[in-house]
């Protein structure tokens, strides 16, 4: 609401926030699992849902999720099932919302950098 008040609307939402833990199943406590799903999948859904009424008023609305292409090959899950699942949740939001809001003209896409970008979250 503050962004709409300050800038007069919302034209694009970039779902960039992410929680990461590249740990195996036996080394991922449920608190960490819940954090990754809460920030990644739930956060993407929540922010998108909150922005959609304003995006529907935009002449060129977009949602961009920083999330991977959906690939069910086991190698993408090995060693970090919880993280991959949480990030795929973001990608599934894009897939579903792209179709759901196609007729309203909202473009919903994903972007996945080819290499890892080191941030404090990776420490």
- List the catalytic residues: 83
Q: Are strands 107-111 and 12-15 parallel, antiparallel or unpaired?
A: unpaired
Specify which residues 64 forms β-bridges with.
Answer: 14, 109
Sign of the four-CA dihedral 105, 52, 62, 87: negative
DSSP labels, 40-90: IIIHHHHHHHHHHHHHTTSSS-EEEEE-------GGGTTT-HHHHHHHHHH
Distance, in Å, from the CA atom of 105 to the CA atom of 6, rounded to the nearest integer, reads 24
């Amino acid at each position: 609401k503050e962004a709409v008040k300050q800038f007069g609307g919302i034209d694009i939402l970039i779902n960039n926030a992410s929680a990461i833990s590249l740990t195996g199943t036996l080394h991922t406590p449920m608190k960490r699992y819940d954090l990754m799903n809460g920030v990644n999948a739930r956060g993407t859904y929540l922010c998108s849902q909150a922005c959609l009424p304003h995006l529907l008023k935009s002449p060129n609305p977009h949602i961009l999720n920083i999330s991977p292409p959906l690939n069910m090959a086991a190698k993408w899950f090995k060693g970090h099932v919880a993280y991959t699942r949480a990030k795929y949740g973001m990608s599934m939001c894009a897939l579903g919302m792209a179709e759901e809001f196609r007729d309203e003209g909202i473009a919903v896409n994903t972007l996945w950098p080819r290499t890892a970008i080191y941030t404090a979250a990776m420490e």
